[in-house]
Structure formats: structure tokens, C-alpha cells
Structure 1
Amino acid sequence: MAFDGTTVAAVTKELTEQLSGGRIAKIAQPETDELLFTIKTPQGQKRLYISASASLPLIYLTNVNKPSPMNAPNFCMLLRKHIGNGRITRITQPGLERIIQIQIEHLDDLGDLCQKTLVVEIMGKHSNIIFCDADGRIIDSIKHISAQMSSVREVLPGRPYFIPDTMGKKNPLTVDADTFIFTLKEKPCPLGKAIYTSFTGISPVIAEDICFLAGMDSGITPKEYEDDLLFHLYRQFSYYIEDVKAGNFHPVIYTDGETPKEFSALLLSHFDTFTKQEYDSISEVLHIYYATKNTLTRIRQKSADLRHVVQTALERARKKYDLQKKQLKDTENREKYKVYGELINTYGYNLAPGTKELTALNYYTGKEITIPLDPVKTPQENSQKYFARYNKQKRTFEALSKLLTETGDDIHYLESISNALDIARSEADLAQIKEELIESGYVRRKYTKKKVKLKNKPMHYISSDGYHIYVGKNNLQNDELTFSFANGGDWWFHAKGAPGSHVIVKTNGDELPDRTFEEAGRLAAYYSKSRGSDKVEIDYVEKKHVKKPNGARPGFVVYYTNYSLMIDSDISNIKAVQD
């Protein structure tokens, strides 16, 4: 979700409610493109975080403090000089632009009351924090933009501040129906794109939602619609804008399982298939969404080397498996050669020298068959040739059958590690997976041969009926969970025929309710390669019936009697416990 004009409007409303009248107690610049204000208000102390990062520009209220450098940067010192102990008088958003203007009054060196404005532009790679005087002239900015860097606007001390209009977009807060319809019809692109490229502050997700609520296909060009349908679209657009004007915001995060999918300041109807979590504060939404996203991104980056190792090994194993299957198929006719040899011994005693074939009754089937012969060989030599071919293919079949099973086990094992990497949520998870790869011989241990002892807890949930459910994060943890942690009477769950986590439900000697069985099944489905499927088959059995064969790889178990259930992989309503 883009940090669009709607989100900025929600942030502006929240900042106005929380910070108006507050005094700036501290100003810090933790990073080159970040500011952190500590503001004293009648409701208590607040912290305002502002980032002009090109990759992740943000502005929201936070409880998190960040360490500052020993020597404050020049921009930070300038702000401290001018607006330290200043009072926030007004916070506004021009139109539906991605801009927040914070007006501050303070006393100058002579004791006179002065006005300053801190302009926060949340515009992707063009984001900036600009400090202006009462006349709208730039005093300084966190990023200097010269004429060589931008032909649209210079952002330098002494230059006048203005909002650049590079896209020619119209203000959605004031547009009327005729202008709305005319503007869209001028666009040759699909309807959804026409909306967000024509009006300021509207993101692609919001444009898609407006089309969805109007019951119109966002992929069709506006010219293909009649004016009455476009007027109907305008009415839906107006309802949306009225909510923005009135400040009727509903901060929300949509998740796909545990992965945040989108956030929004208003509800998104076309995202109803995802799990919805509403919040009272847009700042809380931004903090949770980006913190979770950053964690997942960081873990994804840190696991790249391990993923490469696993993927390379998987590709080799799959190629080997396909080759072995092809070679095994070539041995399917081995029994035929054995029969040929036997029939030549039985009927070939009266063959004339130089005979090229033998037609004889196959006493196994009762039908006549024709056997090719080498005319330069005797019947006995032909028979020995076929027996030799049979024995060779028999040995090949036996060897390949064993190798095929081993290669299949390798593939299944590597897929289970791939699944463990998919569900890893911390560096400790990755360290345990790396240790498993070292023990399995896929990664070489560096510097020492001593086994690394890692402390890492399984995932912990509580069912709706109050039973504790534990989910292994990787194969080593699956073994520990199943064979060290679980009791014989606890229930064990696993996705059938798919790599995945072992799931243990602690029964405490009770008979489990059906709802707990279903929730444990959902967890087993979600933490498997079948995650996202509407129906996943789950095997479940009392733990005492789960065995580990001697010499088996981590995570591999056998069981011979089990129950099964079909379940989806939606775990949004299962309570997670942070141990």
C-alpha cells in the first residue's frame, strides 16, 4: 500500500488531536534522513517519528526511542535553535497531497513571537523535511535539492517553498461530477489507473476499491463506459472522499496468515478475503505493518544463502531422481529376457545352424512367441546372452530401486528444510536450520567441529477451548517436540504427504473437543507446503503411536494407525502466545 493522501489525511487528523498545543521538548536526528521529536502535551509526553528515507518515508507517533549520534547534525542543531521549546499551533494537509505542514510558534532571540513551518513531504524517493519561515521561504532542509538534481524545484536555503505540480492531477476534494467524467474519458488507460493518475492522493489500491464498490471492471477503459455508469462511479468516489473530509477513518491491516498484505486508513472491500485487524490509531497501524514487513524482509535477506544451498541441492536431487526413473523404466522388460533364455534351452536343441529366430510356445502364457537369435551363435550361447541381459537388468533394477527411494527421501527432506526457511521468523530460527544443514552435510562447518547448542522455542498457540498447541519450526525442533516434549497421550498432527511442521496438542489427560482438533489441523496445514490451499488433508494420532526409525533423518517419523481430517489453512482466529 502506498503512503497515499488518504493515509496522510488520517495521520494529520491524529497528529492534530494528539499534538496541537504541545511544546517541543527534544529534537533528535538518529539517522541522516530521520527526525524524532519529543513533545509535551496536556495528555502526556509524545514522540513524533519522521523519516524522509527514499525507500521508506514515514511519519507517525511512536513510543520507541532511538539512540542519537554523539554530535548532532547541522539540520538538527538548526531546528533546536529555532523551534526548541516551540509550541505546535496547527497541523494541516494541503488538499489530499502527501504533505503535512506543522506550524510552530516560538520566541526569537529578542523575545518576539515568531512563526515557523516544518513541511514533511512523503513522496517516495522525493521525500524531504523542509523548514520554512513565516513568509514561506526555505531556511533549510534535511535534503538539499539543487537545479542540477531537479529541473522542477530547488530545495535550498533562501529559495521560496512551493508544492510542485508535475503530474497535473486534480484535487479530489473539490472535483465535480462533470469534471470527474471528462477527466476519466481523456485517459486511454484502464479505469483503475485512470482514477489514480488523475486525482491527487489516490493510490492504485484505493482506485481498485472504488471500482469494486461501484461494481465496475477496473481493467476496462473509461471510454467503454456510458456516462451514467461513470456518474455512478463518481457517486462512489464521492462517498469515499466524504469519509476522508469528515475524518471517518478506520485504520486497518489485512494479513494473509501471519504475513501483512496491506494497510489502509479506510476499509478495503475488495480485500475481504484476507484477515482484517482494525486499530484505533493510524500510527499503530504504520508501526506494526512496517515493523512486521521489515522483520520478514530482513529474515528473507539473511536466509538467502541457505535458500541457495537448499535450492541447488533440490535441483540436483530432482534431476537425479528423473534420470533414475528413466533408467529404472529401461529394466521393465528384464523378465522377458529370462523367458527367452528358458525357451531357447527348452526348444532350441534341434535348431539348424544360422537360424535367425525361434518360434515357440510360451508355457507361462500359453501363446506362441518369436525370439530373435544371433545366427553366428549356438542355441546355448543365445540362451546365455539372454540370461546375462536379464541378470544385468535385475541387478540394475534392485540397485536403482534402492537409489530411487534414497533420492526421493533426499527431496522430501530438502523440501522440509525449504518449508522451515519459509516459516522462519528470527535469526535463531535460521541458525538452527543452518546447524541442521551442517549436520546433514549440505553446509561445511567453519572453524570448529564442535556441535553448536542452540536454544530456540517452538511456536505456541492456545486453542479456543484453552488447550496449548505447539508447532515445530524446523526438523530438529520437530524431533525434540515430538519425542522429548510430548507425552504419549498428547495428540500429534501433520499435513499428509507434504513437508511441514509437527504439531503437538497437550491434552493434560483430557478428551479434546472437536474445535481443538480442527484448530490444530489448521496449524498443521498452515505450517506446511500446502499452506494457502482451501482443503488440506491432515493426519493425526496419539503421540505414542509415532515412531522414529533407527538412523532416520531429522523430522522423519512413521505411524501405522491414524485418523484424518480435511481442513483449510486459516489460522487468523487462533491465539498465538509470545513465550
Structure 2
Amino acid sequence: MFKSYFILNRLANEFNQKLTGFYVTRAFSFEKEKLALLLNKGDEELSLELSVNPQLPYITLKRKVSIPRKNLVDFFSSFLPAKLESIGISERDRIIKFLFDKASIYFTIRGKNTNVFLIPFDGEIESFKKSSEEVKKDFKNEVSKTSFISGFNNIEIKDTIVDATQLRKEYPFIGKEIINEAKLCGEEISDKITTGTLTKVIESVRSEKPVVFIDEDSNEINLGVESSKIFSFTKKEIFPNVISALDYFLIKKYSLAGVSNKKKIIEKHLERELQKTTNKLNDVNLKIQRGSKEEEYNRIANILLVNIDKLHKGSDKIELTNIYNTNEIIIIMLDPKHAPKQNVEMYFEKAKNERLSLVKATQLEEETKKRLSALQKTKEKLIKAETTDDYYSIMKELKINDDVKKKPDNDIKNKFRHYLVEKKYHVFVGKDSKTNDLLTLKFAKQNDYWFHARSVSGSHVILRNENPKEGVPKNILKLVASIAAYHSKAKTAGMVPVSYTQKKYVVKKKGMEPGKVALLKEEVLIVEPEINKKCEYITD
């Protein structure tokens, strides 16, 4: 219910009472789909976080104001600082309006089109998440005709009994959670709802204390009010206002999402390890049941030894009388490359290996049984696990790396120069020996193209090959080769030979200095060192 119109209505009212008169001094983003507004009033500093994630849209108030040093992008700076005069909500939609002395900021929840817009009193509309000019124009026209309220929206429905389907068509902002709550409250059997029951549910959202419902069995978390009946739960937390309830809800939701994610990682790993260990134990058991051929190979070796004078190099088999059963003629396979003595030794060696193999198989059986038992005990621990610490402990026990610690591509990408060739092909350039190694050995993919000016110092250059099956046109290769020549010691030369190959043919041998690599194969282009006008420099 955290996305419910009436919860948002109440949230907007609380923000209006608490934040009116504050100045917004900065709007910035350092995390995908999240916009932060810095608020200041005298000595008091706060911040609002607006999430435009379609699955988790929200506005939350934070007391701690922290500005990151990296990956920070400012928004709406030409209209800031601005004084916040009021906060309201649309009468019939999930649009929250922040009215300033110079402009208005609108937070709108609309599925994949959830966004934040700034509409100045005099100027062009701006959006936080990229939107087309047509979308922005339509939104500006829409809100110019929309009424916004600062109090609670006590809607009036004329009919005494209403059909739920028709209700959602006429009043889409009411939402299915409110309708489902009304059905439960009125104990309705059909799809009909009495207006009195619906009004009672809406009134409860307006007046009752907010509650966060937690279902620890399913890892589900929901936000409602004290009388809410539609949520299953194992425990609940009651709050004095929506601001604090929403803050707790989000902390708990992210925590449960992390727990759920870790649980899935562990379950997948455990399932794989249990299957692998079970298969291994089955293979070892079959080997033990099959027994050892030590005695058989020793007998063959002795038969050959007795008849060594009949053996000749170059023979691949021989028929001999079985000295252990004189009535039997047996065929013994030989290695034609071996001398007679070597063939005898070969079978004695096989007998020895069979004996050792059986001993190892018996030891491996014991080790595999222990491993299987340990995995089954870990599976029992997983069933009983509840907290994040429990899951971390199991991950450590199973030696599972926490994927959260892996550095995303975007963080590494910021360490290189970045060009866009013909508005399609991404090119990355190392800045020094260290970033050259990082670019080639960590960032580049196997089918990317690698470039470097021949016989001179220079940057490693990577052309991202997004579609290996499609191939890269020769003119693009030449444009990228020119970039590589430009970012080298030969940038002032007339024409420069540039080596290029796919990244999979670039290797770094042990002991090589930073930035040094070896090529398993290469081709050469002779180009002029330049940054062609078709190559756009990107500032990430």
C-alpha cells in the first residue's frame, strides 16, 4: 500500500507541514533512478530522496545529508536555490507537487514512466529521467489543467453500492489495495462494494497509525494502517506518521531483498554442489564394486615373463598357453612399440596402478561421504537461517564470493577516455600504464578490438564489439586506429602504423612491465593521427 494514492496523500500532507519554508539548495543524483534534494532552513539540514524505480517508487526524508565525491550529476541547477512554499497532491492522480518561488517540481508515479519533472514559471520543462520532448510537452499541458490539494482528499461517490470494476475505471487512483480492503471489511461476496465501506477504509488510511507488516516466512513486507486486513504477517511495527513508517519500510525491504538474494545464491550453489558430490560418490562406489584388476594384470605379466623368448617388438598381440590353466589359450594385447621386457613391465605397472587406484578410491569414498554429510548439514542450517548474518556465515562456510563486492563495469569505465564513433561504436582509451592494463586485462571482452601504435609508447585502445556476428566495418577500424595513433608518442607524425587484433589474441606474460602485452596475431593499418569529427568525446 506504500504506492497507494491515499498513503501518498497523507505523506504529502506530512511533508507540507514539516518542510514548507525550507530552501532546496541542490538537486543531484549519484545512483541510478534516485534524485536527492538538499534542504536547508537556518541551521537545519535535511534531504529528500526521490526514487523513480518503477517497482519501488518513493519519497523519503533523511536527516543525514551526505554528498558523494564520485559519479555525481547535478539537476535543475539553474533554478536553485529555491524556497519551498507548499506541497500538494493531484486530486485524481499519484502526482505530488512541490511548489517553489521560481518553479514547481512534480513527482509522478506511472509505472515505467515514473519520473520527476521541473516546470519553471518562465522557461522550458526539464526531466530527471530522460523523456522525449513530446512526453514533456504533454505532461506540462496535463498539470496545467490539474487541481492540487494540500489537505486529505475525501472523495464523494454518489451511488450507494458500486461495482469494483466500474469503480476502478471511474476512479483509477483509488487502487486495487483499497478496493480489496473494502471487500474484506464489508465481507462482500460479489464484486459489489457499499460506498459506506469504501469511505470507512479511506478514512482509516487518513486517521489511523501507519503500520509495517512483516511476513518472515515469505520475506514479504507491506505498509498499511492498524485496521488493514489484506496483508499476512508474522509481526508488525506501528509508527506515529507515514514519514517514519516509510523510512522503516524501505530499510526493512532492502534488508529482506538482500536476505532473499543471498538465500537464492546459496540455494543454487548448494544444489549444484550436492548434485556434483552425489555423482562423484556414485562413480567412486561403482569403481569399488567393480573391484581391482591387479590379480588379472599380474597373471598376464607372469605369463609373458615365462614366454618372453616368444615376444617380438612390433607385435600388437600374441596367443599363449595360460600357465594357470593349461587347457586354455589366451590372446594378450601388446604395445608394438615396446620391446618384450617393456611389455612385461607394462602389465606389472598396470597391476600396481590398479592396487593404488583401489586404495585411493576407498579414501575418496570416505572423503566424499564426509563432504556430502557436511553439505546436508549446511542445507539444514539454510532452512533455519533468518538473519543476514546467518546467510553471510553460510556463504563463508561454502566459500561463496559476495557478488555485491564486485566492481561494476561503470565504475571501471570512468577510469578511461571514452569516444562514440558514428554515434554507435564505443571506444575506450587508457590514460597510463596502470589503466592500460586495467582496460585490456579487466574491462575488455574477448571479441572487442584492441589497438596500439606500433613501436612507440601510447595508450591501449579498445573498440567495444557489441555484436560479433555483425562484424565491424573497415572504415570504423581506421577511425579507431587514428584515435590510437593520436594517443601515442607518434601523434605529430604524418602517417602512423597501428597494430590491431581482437582482445582474445592479447596476452600478458609473467614478468612483463605495467602496460606491456604480447600479441598472438595482429594486423596493421597505416593512418593519420587524429580525432575525426565522426568521433565524439564522451564525458561520463
State the TM-score, normalizing by the size of structure 1: 0.46
State the TM-score, normalizing by the size of structure 2: 0.49
